[in-house]
Structure 1
Amino acid sequence: MDIVYIHDLRIDTIIGVYDWERQIKQTLSFNLEMATDIRQAAATDDLQYTINYKAVSDRLIEFVETTQPQLLETLAENIANIIISEFHVPWLRLQVSKAGAVRAARDVGLIIERGKKYGLPE
């Protein structure tokens, strides 16, 4: 299994359960690991045989900026569904961090894994 990753993708959006949170944009940080098999891409030097992290990033930015969920959990689950279905990723690990949500912590957030991690050909 190979991993294509995106680290610290920062996107501003409206998110939160409190009234004051619904009035401002907050910056979320995303770390994403996506399983793939890079051998055909490496052999052909062709982008079509791997995960295009620019296309994934652009899709996430568009989605996160326009959706306004209350919970990080909702946002994370929706993102996982998008990545798996639109980019044909068999497994992913997604970390979403929300800075400043708890005064005594640098950030808070969650990590989810979806799909079959080792469902790739050997």
Structure 2
Amino acid sequence: MDKILLNDMMFYGYHGLYPEENKLGQRFTVDLQLLTDLKKAGHTDDMNDSIHYGHVYKVVGQVVEGEAKNLIETVAEDIAKRLFTTFEALHGVIIKVNKPGPPIPGYYESVAVEIERERKDYE
């Protein structure tokens, strides 16, 4: 399966277990691997035969910058659902949601979750 990669997309959201996270918010980054068939787009050079990266960014942004969630696991799952609903050509997706500088004891650059989903997971 072919892939479209979107790396280090940055958003500001209010996700987390602690009240200060929901009030102050923080930066999140998202990496995507969109699994689709790019053969036709490669031959036709027509955007209608692919998945528009700008539209993907908007969909992800609506989730990350939208309603606050306790868990980044839920953010990742919501991104997957929205992508499959929005993009018919999407066969599978790998989503990594990264939370830099989490407010937990210790020294962390970030914490992240990564999920893999296929269209059949939502049918």
Instruction: Using structure 2 for the length normalisation, give the TM-score.
Output: 0.89
CA RMSD of aligned residues (A): 1.2
Counterpart of 2:17 in structure 1 is 17
Shift of 1:95: 0.4
Taking the aligned partners of 2:38 and 2:22, their CA distance within structure 1 comes to 41
Counterpart of 2:57 in structure 1 is 57
Unaligned runs of 5+ in 1: 117-122
What amino acid maps onto 1:97 in structure 2?
A: N
Taking the aligned partners of 1:57 and 1:21, their CA distance within structure 2 comes to 23
Counterpart of 2:107 in structure 1 is 104
Q: Percent identity?
A: 29
What amino acid maps onto 2:14 in structure 1?
A: I
Taking the aligned partners of 1:78 and 1:63, their CA distance within structure 2 comes to 7
What amino acid maps onto 2:97 in structure 1?
A: V
Aligned residues: 116
Unaligned runs of 5+ in 2: none
Counterpart of 1:34 in structure 2 is 34
Contact 2:3–2:33 at 8 Å: present in 1 too?
yes
What amino acid maps onto 2:113 in structure 1?
A: L
Taking the aligned partners of 1:9 and 1:95, their CA distance within structure 2 comes to 10
Shift of 1:63: 2.6
